[in-house]
Every structure is written in C-alpha cells, then in structure tokens.
Amino acid sequence: MHGFPSLVEIAMSEEELSDQEQQRRVKLARLREAGVDPYPARVERTHTAAEAVSALEGRAEGEAVVVGVAGRLVSMRVMGKSSFAHIEDDSGRIQLYVRSDVLGEEAYELFKRDLDLGDFVQASGETFYTRTGEPSVRVDELRLLAKALQPLPVVKEKDGQVFDAFTDKEQRYRQRYVDLAVNPEVREIFKTRARIISAIRRFLDERGFLEVETPVLQPIYGGAAARPFVTYHNQLKQQLYLRISDELYLKRLIVGGFEKVYEIGRDFRNEGVSFKHNPEFTQIEFYKAYADYRDVMELAEQMVAYAAQEALGTTTITHEGQEIDLSPPWRRWKLRDAIRELTGIDYAEHEDAESLYQAIVRMGGTPEKKSTWGKLIDPTLINYVESKLIQPTFLYDYPLEVSPLAKKKPGEPDIVERFEFFIGGFELGNAFSEINDPLDQRERFLATSEALADGDEEAHPLDEDYVRALSYGMPPTGGFGMGIDRLTMLLTNTDSLREVILFPHLRSRE
C-alpha cells in the first residue's frame, strides 16, 4: 500500500543479521502491525512460579486456583491446536498449557507464530495437574512482556543429563547475562555468595563489631605486598592509588577508640590473573582491640564454619572431590614445623639466604637467585606446603622479614605473631597481632621502603601518617583478612575465582 515497504519488509532487509535475528525482527514487526505492544510497561503478576505450584498443592481436588504468572519462555512444544510451554522466573519454572479453544484462535495463532524462546510473557488461568502430574496453568490470557531479538542457547535436560549446555567459558564470562539466563546453577552460585557475605556480617554484628567504610582511593597504599593501580585526581592534581588492602585505615580507627571494626570491600592488585587471582577482589578485614592472633584464630574458624552452616546448612563440604570438615577447632601448625615435615628443610638451620637457597635447590626446587632469606620462605617454600593443606589449617609464627605489620613474638626476635590459613589446598586469609609500637613500625617501614627503592615493586612505602596514628597509642590488637571470593569458591565447589565473580576481568576484544 502506498508503495512504502511494510515493517516486515524492512525487518527482512537487515542483511547483516543472522537468519534467526531477522526472523525475530519480522515477528516483532508483525506483532506491532497486529496492534501488540511488544514492550508494555505494566505487568499483572499474582504468583511467582513457585507460589503458583504451592498454591495448587494446598487445594482440594477440583478447587480452582487462578494465577497470573510471568517469566521467560524457556521451552515450547506446539502440537497443533494445543501447546505446552515452560516459563522461568527467579523462583523456578512452571508449565503453561495453551489451547486454541481456551485462549481464542487469533491469540493462539499469534502465540504459535510470533513468540519465541527467550521472550518474556505473562500468562493467567487456572492451575491444574496434567496427566503426568505436572502442575500447570491452563492459559486463558497470554501477553507478551518483552520480545527477545537474540536467540538464547537452548539447553535441554532429561534424566539429569544436560544437552547442548552453554559452556564456553569465554562466552559465559563475556556475556554473563546469557550464562545466568540459561544456567540456573550459575545463578545459584551467586545466591550462595550473597548468603555467605550476609552470614559473615551477621556473625560480626552479633559480636559487637562495627561495620565501617574506608577510602578506596588512597594517597599512599599499604597493608599488603602488591603492586597498586595508579590513578589521578584532576582537580587536586594528585596521584592516587586504588587500595590494595583496608588494613592501615582500619587500625587508625582502633587508635580512634573503636574496639571492634570490620569492612567488606573491594581491593585492587595490579598483578597476574589466575584461578585464584583477579585484579579486583572482595576482602573481609576485621580488627579487635585487646586481642592477639590466638584470639583471632578462634574467631576465624568460628566465622568460616558459621558462614558454611548458614549458606549451605552444613560444615562438611566437598571441594574438588575432597571432603573437608570446617568445624572448629582447626589444626594449628607452626610454619617451621610444617615446612620441615613436608619438605625436609628446617629453615632455622639455614641462617643466610645462600644456605637456604642451596637447600631448596637440593630438594629440587627452583627458587629465584636474588631472593632474600625471607622471600625464599614465603612464597617459595610455602608453595610446597600449600597444596597439601586440604583440611583447614592455621600455619603460624612467620619470619619477621616478610611481615612488616605484625608484632614480634616475645623472646623470638626473628619471628612474628602471624598466621595464614589454608583450606582445600589454597590460602584463604592472613592475620596477626598488630604492631602497636610506633617506633618498631617506623623501622619496619624503613626496611620495606628501602626494598621498594631497590626495585621490589611489591614492598610497602613508608606511611608517615599511619606511624603518627600509632604514636597516639593503639591498644594491643588482633587483625584478620580473608578473601571472600576464595571462600565462595570453596563453599560452592568451583575451581576458579571467575566462577564466583559475576563479571571477571577479561582482555578487551577489538
């Protein structure tokens, strides 16, 4: 008419689109021409899928329950004048039974021809059980809520076997929305993650800890051995760093008089990416005044067990095929003993770096030649120990040199009151009795800032204001840090941080 191309003809002329995309645009155009709004603003939903199912379960036979449900079309089986379909919402799936004679012929034809898997729809009608006993909605009204123009991967399942799953890791991470849309078990991982975090909050809140927020943008970084991301504030003409840990600010708060503080937040480290490293990750840190690293051990094992119990309903978990018992108390193993037992090297017998280096080489290791004594122990030696620590284990009493913020152990000048803990063969966290002697802290900073100047890019710079804070007096304090992503990985039985981070970092594509 009038020689103008119809919407359908325009849709079909989009040549750069795949045939399935073109089909969907044709359907969209046809729907519009039939007077259907493919993206209406209003929804009339009375039940979620799960609610509709349980409402039916509660009723006597023959008693009608009318529901309005809404969700994404995830399956369609068209059999002439009747069809079965499933819609999925956040609560689960429910089957729709669509009959031409109930819905009306015109609406039924539109459903059959112009709706696709992936579209969002609203359906209302009475619930009933089909011949095979599946709760379903006999649809007397069906309305499109949102037309999908891209086909979703079609994942099918029978007898627990999954067909054509959407599994390509790169695509799953780059298009996480597709991953989440078609893989319900992926959604479950992130629900578990949220339960873990809320359990940790509850655990600390119940014990009188105050949740605080400290700067992410910092004029000087510290609290961990890592290279920072650098950024710049235009107005202030000032270089800033994205924090590598929360530590030094949280301890300033202990100086200020708070006795128990914690922060759950994002840290950023400019280093390699691996199954247990992502450039940005979530860490929980807490600090407790009038406590030492032994008190912190008890809190740590209780907190992790509590998080597992709350998130999973059990403290016995399976990770990578190994059964792990998270219930306290956990094994406490002196670092020196653990290394001696698992590698045969007693580092206390090797007083200088050269001697220790030779011992590691004799054991078959390949340490870095230029490493200092402390750097040979951690990480080189711990690498041999870490993977063997499947059941929860505290390794404690670390060499002073690699622990510039931890308090010296009384009577052992080269050892500090520090522990790291390991579960499932990797490190989850790190803690110590905090240095509260400002002069000692200053000396330690001087040593690390020299190392930084000598080219150790992960060493601490000197934070004068932090030393000044300590000089106003800080009570004896126990501090703790743990990777939330790694804990989630452990509790969801996944083998990579990327599985528990919604949008993990990937290299940009051209």
Partner RNA sequence: GGGCCGUUAGCUCAGUCAGGCAGAGCAGCUGCCUUUUAAGCAGCGGGUCGAAGGUUCGAAUCCUUCACGGCUCACCA
What part of residues 71-100 is at the interface with RNA (CB under 7 A)?
A: 75-82, 84, 86, 95, 97, 99-100
Given 136, 192, 283, 488, the residue binding RNA (CB under 7 A): 136
Measured from the CB atom, is 66 or 210 closer to RNA?
Answer: 66
Distances (CA, A) of 65 to 51, 86, 138, 154: 11, 18, 11, 31
Query: What is the distance in angstroms between the CA of the first residue and the CA of the last residue of the chain?
Result: 44
Given 92, 104, 379, 438, the residue binding RNA (CB under 7 A): 379
Measured from the CB atom, is 222 or 311 closer to RNA?
Answer: 222
- Tell me which residues in 406-425 interact with RNA (CB under 7 A): 420
Total residues at the site for RNA (CB under 7 A)? 80
CB atoms within 10 A of CB 334: 15
Measured from the CB atom, is 102 or 210 closer to RNA?
Answer: 102
- Tell me which residues in 97-116 interact with RNA (CB under 7 A): 97, 99-101, 113, 116
Residue 125, φ and ψ in degrees, nearest 5 = 160, -175
Binding mask 206-245 for RNA (x = CB under 7 A): -----------------xxxx-------------------
Measured from the CB atom, is 205 or 457 closer to RNA?
Answer: 457
Given 51, 126, 134, 440, the residue binding RNA (CB under 7 A): 134
Q: Give start and end residues of each alpha helix (H) in 234-334.
A: 247-255, 293-312
Distance separating alpha carbons of residues 488 and 503, to the nearest angstrom:
15
Contact call for residue 271 and RNA (CB under 7 A): yes
Q: Which stretch binds RNA (CB under 7 A): 48-56, 274-282, 437-445, 462-470?
A: 274-282
- Tell me which residues in 35-74 interact with RNA (CB under 7 A): none
**Where are any strands of DSSP class E within 196-344?**
210-211, 217-218, 230-233, 238-242, 260-268, 280-289, 316-319, 322-325, 331-334
Angle at 435 between CA 338 and CA 406, to 5 degrees: 20
CB 169 within 8 A of CB 140: no
Given 68, 151, 279, 461, the residue binding RNA (CB under 7 A): 151
Binding mask 425-444 for RNA (x = CB under 7 A): -----x--------------
Host H or E run for residue 103: helix 100-103
Nearest Cα neighbor of 458 from 189, 284, 271 is: 271
Contact call for residue 164 and RNA (CB under 7 A): yes
Given 6, 167, 231, 314, the residue binding RNA (CB under 7 A): 167
Q: Which stretch binds RNA (CB under 7 A): 201-209, 363-371, 433-441, 464-472?
A: 363-371
Q: Measured from the CB of residue 71, what is the shortest distance to RNA in angstroms?
A: 15
Strand order in the sheet with 230-233: 217-218, 238-242, 230-233
Q: Which stretch binds RNA (CB under 7 A): 188-196, 250-258, 265-273, 336-344?
A: 265-273
Given 8, 12, 23, 146, the residue binding RNA (CB under 7 A): 23
Given 70, 142, 402, 489, the residue binding RNA (CB under 7 A): 402
Distances (CA, A) of 413 to 292, 350, 353, 354, 400: 17, 16, 18, 21, 8
Angle at 351 between CA 480 and CA 401, to 5 degrees: 25
Measured from the CB atom, is 147 or 199 closer to RNA?
Answer: 147
Q: Which two tokens stand for residue 277?
A: 């490293």
Given 372, 380, 391, 449, the residue binding RNA (CB under 7 A): 380
- Tell me which residues in 299-358 interact with RNA (CB under 7 A): none
Binding mask 443-462 for RNA (x = CB under 7 A): ---------------x----
Host H or E run for residue 74: strand 66-79
Sign of CA dihedral 436, 439, 444, 445: positive
